[in-house]
Amino acid sequence: MPLTRREFSRQSALTGAGIAITGAVGALASAPGALAAEDSVETAEHGDDGHDGQGHGSHRPGYGPLIPDPKKLLALPAGFSYRVIAHAGVTKLESGEFTPAKHDGTATFEGPRGVTLLVVNHELRGDRSKIKHPVPLTENLVYDPAAPGGCTVVETHRSGEVASWVGIAGTAQNCAGGSTPWGTWLTCEENEDRAGQNGTTKDHGYVFEVDPYDRRANRAPKPIKALGRYAHEAVVIDPKRGHAYLTEDADTPNGLLYRWVPPHGFKHGRGHLRGLADDAGVLQATRCYDSGGRFVDDLSRATKIGTVYGVDWVDVPDRDARTVSVRKQFTDKQVTRARKLEGMWWGDGGAYIVSSYARDESPVHHDGQVWFYDPKRRTLTLKVLFGVNPDPSKDGAYDGPDNITVSPYGGLILAEDGAGIQHLIGATERGRTYPIARNELNLGTEEDPDFSEFAGVVFSPDGRTLYASIQTPGIMLAITGPWKRQSHRD
């Protein structure tokens, strides 16, 4: 049984340090503002992290320094290489149309005879006529013909052959999303446009299901309205309980973490979600409290790795936000908010949840958090905390985590969406961080460089290839090399 508020407070008081949560990742930290369990945000900002200038001790985790790329695209450690899988406006779909722009959330699925299938979100919004490479309006796969976003499915073979096609079109600002235990993709619209706004013809802000294996299953796209209408970022499904957890990337006021509880007797499976009634199940938002039973208004309040909050769930009054945005239906004393709630990944029996940064819209400033939600204990534990990066233009500093995946080699992989230089970052089970890749595609000038965020970080089903995208212009990369499990000493 989950802990009650009273039990949580009593056990926390007895232990003196909250409830210990076990998991493969442990208490992670960031570099160079690395935070040990006893460190605070203020300590990290001043660089006093107990490690050397890179946030490491004498034995550094990872694969060594990144080597500049002569092609000025992707810096990798020695022994690693990359291959371009898809490139917006360069590569083409089966239909002969160009690969759409702005790659985002991605998942991989195992196909026959060594084939890997990837479903890729394209975070495109606004007036479709002004988008250079929108998702093509493929017959029977269009939700709103005025919207530019959607998903593509990419099929890669061991031979190097690549094919791709549209999975869904006519959606808006498809962001992180998430895969399901039954082998489909849930694409999320980070958007709240009503029909008529930005030229749209239908309401947006929904979740849609995309089947990478069966193209016919994607015909006549239907939003899963039971999961609510708001600025969706990511979603994961608890394979044991059937609950869906969803993040909202929004502010004024800050967004919320949601849980959808399916109706009694509902069984998940391919296409089952789209058959639900619009008001099926219960959509709820988080309400957190600390070890003393005190309400926590915003997750940025946590300034120490290992902080544990108990979680209650509050029912959403109007999930379709007919007159008021869902997050505005609550007062700040009813729910716990967080700025930039981004990627999620299910692993270790729970959900890893990213809050990308917090600034003036939040009580405490930071440059990134990763939380772990334990559904059995109904607790949130702070696993990663990035202190505010004083100079994002300098290499070696990380800020603004976004998409996330659990690595088959232990720990987490994070896609950086911060200011300045952008990395793919690994974090070991002991909490040490290291670079895996650096974006070297400068979209600006030498005097004023501009590097796009990484997105869609995910391993192939066999763990041999790490896929990731440079969001702008939209380049999907396959990274291979001497992957190894990071030492438990790291």
List pLDDT tens digits, range 8-28. Answer: 444 444 333 222 222 333 333
Q: What is the pLDDT at residue 28?
A: 38
143 is a domain residue: yes
135 is a domain residue: yes
358 Cβ contact partners less than 8 Å away, ≥ 6 residues apart = 298, 300, 338, 339, 340, 364, 365, 366
485 is a domain residue: no
448, two tokens: 């004023």
Q: What is the pLDDT at residue 487?
A: 67
Q: What is the pLDDT at residue 430?
A: 66
Q: What is the pLDDT at residue 149?
A: 98
Helix (H) / strand (E) element for 163: namely: strand 162-171
Q: What is the pLDDT at residue 488?
A: 60
Q: At residue 49, does pLDDT exceed 90?
A: no
82 is a domain residue: yes
Helix (H) / strand (E) element for 10: namely: helix 5-15
Range with the lowest mean pLDDT among 57-71, 238-252, 327-341? 57-71
39 Cβ contact partners less than 8 Å away, ≥ 6 residues apart = 29, 49, 50, 304, 305
274 is a domain residue: yes
CA gap 119, 112 in Å, rounded: 16
Length of the chain measured in residues: 490
Q: How does pLDDT run across 302-354, given as a tens digit for each residue?
A: 999 899 999 999 999 999 999 999 999 999 999 999 999 999 999 999 999 99
E-strand stretches of 227-377: 232-237, 244-248, 255-261, 282-289, 295-296, 308-315, 337-338, 341-347, 350-355, 369-374
Sign of dihedral through CA atoms 90, 94, 97, 101?
negative
Q: How many domains does the structure of the chain reveal? A: 1
CA gap 40, 387 in Å, rounded: 8
Q: Side-chain half-sphere of 89: how many Cα atoms within 13 Å?
A: 8
Q: At residue 71, does pLDDT exceed 90?
A: yes
CA gap 118, 428 in Å, rounded: 26
282 is a domain residue: yes
CA 358 → CA 136, 232, 250, 420, distances in Å? 36, 18, 12, 17
Pairing of strands 81-87, 475-480: antiparallel
Q: How does pLDDT run across 365-384, given as a tens digit for each residue?
A: 999 999 999 999 999 999 98
CB neighbour burial string for 294-326, b if at least 16 within 10 angstroms, e if fewer: eebbbbbbbbbbbbbbbbbbeebeebbbeeebb
Q: At residue 48, does pLDDT exceed 80?
A: no
Q: How confident is the model at residue 53 (pLDDT cuts 50, 70, 90)?
A: very low
487 is a domain residue: no
CATH number at residue 231: 2.120.10.30
Q: What is the pTM (predicted TM-score) of this model?
A: 0.90
Average pLDDT over residues 93-109: 98
Q: What is the pLDDT at residue 33?
A: 31
367, two tokens: 């440059």
Average pLDDT over residues 68-95: 98
42, two tokens: 């203020």
Q: Measured in whole angstroms, how far is the alpha carbon of residue 53 from the centre of its chain? A: 28
486 is a domain residue: no
Q: What is the pLDDT at residue 164?
A: 98
Give the N- to C-terminal CA distance of the chain in Å, as an integer. 35
Helix (H, G, I), strand (E, B) or coil at 130: helix
Q: What is the largest CA-CA distance in the chain?
A: 65
Q: What is the pLDDT at residue 91?
A: 98
Q: How does pLDDT run across 251-273, given as a tens digit for each residue?
A: 999 999 999 999 999 999 999 99
Q: At residue 37, does pLDDT exceed 50?
A: no
Q: How confident is the model at residue 61 (pLDDT cuts 50, 70, 90)?
A: confident
Mean pLDDT across the chain: 88
Average pLDDT over residues 394-414: 92
CA gap 462, 464 in Å, rounded: 6
Q: What is the pLDDT at residue 384?
A: 87
Q: What is the pLDDT at residue 395?
A: 87
Q: How does pLDDT run across 159-210, given as a tens digit for each residue?
A: 899 999 999 999 999 999 999 999 999 999 999 999 999 999 999 999 999 9
Task: Determine the structural domain holding residue 135 and report its residue range.
Answer: 5-480
Helix (H) / strand (E) element for 153: namely: strand 149-156
